[in-house]
Structure 1
Amino acid sequence: MLVVQRRLTHYRVPFFERLRADMAAAGLELVLAHGDPTPEEVTKRDGGQLPWAHHLTTRYALGGRLCWQPFGALAAGAELTVITAENKLVYNLVEQFDAASRRVALWGHGANLQGDATSLRERFKARLALRADWWLAYTEMSRGLVEGLGFPKDRITVLDNAVDMTELCEQFAAVTPAASAAARREMGLDGGPVALYLGSLYAEKRVDFLLESARQLRQRLPGFNLVVIGGGPELAVIQAAAQQEPWIKALGVRKGMEKVVAASVADVMLNPGLVGLNILDSFAGGLPMLTTDCGLHSPEIAYLESGRNGLMTANTLDAFVEASLSLLTQPERRAAMAAQARADALRYTLAHMSERFTEGVLGALAAPIRRGRT
């Protein structure tokens, strides 16, 4: 079985190691192939490496909107190829339309949740979504999207997309009060409330909205601080704000225990824009996430239960600030929400995701090829 990734991120490395073992236990060999990130993605500093993975020649065009990654030589010996559902991946068309003798599974969100569903681009993607023998859907939200396109529901496997939650939860649990206090001193934090932003920094994350909401909270909450962990094309915006306003702490990219210890100083997580896998960081750290109903979220937003393990507000600055202020000034409510978040961290694990992925692969291999039929 061949799995193709446009690029390999560090948070996928433990998953593919686990999946390789699960596939072997099922009598299958996992072949993983990946290419290179775009120049913009390089700034996120989130790349990963696996010595047993195959590297694909990668060429981008139209400012990264098209990508050519030929993987036909690797696919030739496979019974099944798993490819990601992205319009930019031109070579996918070769596999979906010409690989008549092997099965093709699509892995993805089910739709571009940041795109215009009525656009020619998204209508084209919706048609291609039917050109598959199986679907590996990120979440239950993704399943609904794929079913809504007319894909047979008995050929969809929900993965419950995750990162290595076992390690992440253990890391947060291992942070001592002394280590957290030392991190506060290092950042120059006083005893006031702290909000955390954790994740990549790009347009859909709404960095300007984040900064303006933080400024309003600073005016209304004495000693309020914002800690920002992450990199990307919008990092310079955060760094410029931090130079002018020292209560904003721009830490850049941090990984492993360094990231966890820095995150441990926070009371809540603020993410007014696109929410993706970083919601699992909020669960593991017991940091209730506040976001908005902005229409930009990835399928992992399905894990958020507003009022239980986090909060989703109306898509206005006032609503977001008022909800943040309320939660930061109600410690008992915040503690109850944090406890629910930690409990939910145990629901979304790499072991579960790998198990579901393996079940989907076995289902695809057992089913006849249906590609092209609606």
Structure 2
Amino acid sequence: MTSRVVYVFPISHRFRLPFHERLRRVLEKDGVEYTVCYSAPFGENLKKKDTVDISWGHKVSLLKLWKGALLQLAFWDILSSDLVIIQQENRLLVNYVCQLLSMLRLKRVAYFGHGRNFQAGNTNSIGERWKKFWATKVNWWFAYTDETKDFISKLGFPEARITVFNNAVDTNELQQHARSISSDQLQMLRSELGLCGKNVGVYVGGLYREKRIAFLIDALDKIRASIPDFEFIFVGGGPDLSLARAAAETRPWVKITGPKFDREKVALMLLAKVFLMPGLVGLAVLDAYSMGLPVFTTDYPYHSPEIAYVIPGATGAITQPWGSADAYAAAVIDALRRDDELVRMSSNCREQATKFTMDEMVSRFSRGVVQALNG
């Protein structure tokens, strides 16, 4: 008899589509029907332009309620499934319906998440205490990293029911794109952007407050003052895109492309030597590694779990203190002045990319789904 698993989430991000596609195919071989339930993008996600529809998924209405609470009308998908996977967010009201069903032993429910809010200013806030309370009210956990597993297990949740999947993007696809781009095509792109120097940096991702775009612009000026041919490319969209555009108006060496994906994104990264992201670091680190780009960030206290993938001195730098643009710029300047160091770091980045792949993530996740169904 076929088991049915549904993953319920509010927004379908483009970068997750390969994961869902592959997971569906792998689980089908185990006699498991996998589907997803999501809603139309809203708010900042519309500005980022990084969402996508899933042809075989179920798109449902989403009600925006008081103080940011969201209610997805996913009740039929939930009731008709053998396992429901939900995202660990306090504002998702459908989660509480699922967890109450789990506590009554009427439904198997799994959490997908970080364990805690890595961007929370106060780890003992009401919101964080509420999240901890509900963190153990599920049957299974899909944890981003070992750090998440340690956090959840310390709350009393059994380690045997935690699957660490090591969050990843499709680095193989990115590398395939890279191999398909010729040096002539890259030279044409350089000309189109008006790049003249050999020292190019790049930022790829959403542009919003936690990414510290104003700080980055300050640091770019300091780098340019020491490296006269330094140029920079902003790739992405979001509410702080206006900051980057304003900077470019008075700095012809700063280029703005807006959101780019797949092969176009890869081509832009191939023009660079370093990947700069002084604010919140997440999955973008694997985009950088797949292109052999060292990642330069700060010890910002609100990074996502993927900050664990950055190895200072080997695959980039995490500068201190996180409020110092001088310290951040100095690390980048030092690297750009030492070609041998950049070559060494680039090699380390490519090696690190092989450790966190989409195939490995899907393999771990699918094993966890089967265990959760049978456990």
TM-score bucket (shorter structure): over 0.9
Deviations 1:197-237 (A, max 9, x none): 11100100000111000011111111111110000111111
Question: Aligned match of 2:113 in 108, 112, 126?
Answer: 108
Residue 337 of structure 2: aligned partner: 329
Q: What is the percent sequence identity of the aligned residues?
A: 36
Instruction: Please give the residue correspondences for 1:85-164 in structure 2 after superposition, counting only pairs within 5 Å.
Output: 85-99=88-102, 100-115=105-120, 116-164=122-170
2:55 to 51, 55, 68: 51
Q: In the TM superposition, what are the counterparts of 1:126-275 in structure 2 within 5 Å?
A: 126-275=132-281
Gaps of 5+ in 2: none
Amino acid at match of 2:296: L
1:62 deviation in Å?
A: 4.5
**What is the aligned counterpart of 1:348 among 344, 349, 356?**
356
Aligned length: 366
Misfit runs of 4+, over 6 Å = none
Q: In 2, distance between residues paired with 1:18 and 1:305?
A: 29
SS of 1:226's partner is strand
Mapped partners of 2:241, 2:216: distance in 1: 13
Aligned to 1:25: 29
Q: What RMSD, in angstroms, separates the aligned Cα atoms of the two structures? A: 1.2
Matched, 1:79 2:82: yes
Higher mean alpha-carbon deviation, 98-107 vs 243-252, is at: 98-107
Q: What amino acid does structure 2 have at the position aligned with 1:52?
A: W
Aligned-pair distance for 1:38? Answer: 2.3
**Partner Cα distance (2:166, 2:303) in 1:** 15
Which secondary structure does the structure 2 equivalent of 1:238 belong to? Answer: helix
Please state whether the residue corresponding to 1:32 is helix, strand or coil: strand
Higher relative contact order (CA 8 A, sep 6+): 1
The equivalent residue for 2:347 is 339
Corresponding letter in the other structure for 1:355: S
Question: In structure 2, what is the Cα distance between the partners aligned to 1:62 and 1:236?
Answer: 29
Deviation at 1:70, TM superposition (A): 2.6
Partner deviation per Cα, 1:328-370 (whole Å, 9 max, x = no partner) = 1111011111011111212222211111111111111222xxx
Say whether 1:5 aligns with 2:5: no
- The runs of 5 or more residues in structure 1 that have no matched partner are 368-374
Q: Which letter does structure 2 place at the counterpart of 1:122?
A: E
8 Å CA contact 1:218–1:225 kept in 2: the answer is: yes
TM-score normalised according to structure 2 size:
0.95
Shift of 1:173: 2.8
Question: Distance in 2 between the 1:335 and 1:221 partners?
Answer: 18
Contact 1:175 1:264 in 2 (8 A): no
Which stretch has the larger CA shift, 95-104 or 20-29?
A: 95-104
Q: Distance in 1 between matches of 2:119 and 2:154?
A: 17
Asked whether the 8 Å contact 1:136–1:157 carries over to 2, the reply is yes
Q: What residue identity is the alignment partner of 1:87?
A: N
What is the letter of the counterpart of residue 243 of structure 2?
Answer: V
Structure 1 residue identity aligned to 2:96: L
Deviation at 1:139, TM superposition (A): 1.3
Matches of 2:81 and 2:18, distance apart in 1: 23
**Does 2:46 correspond to 1:37?**
no
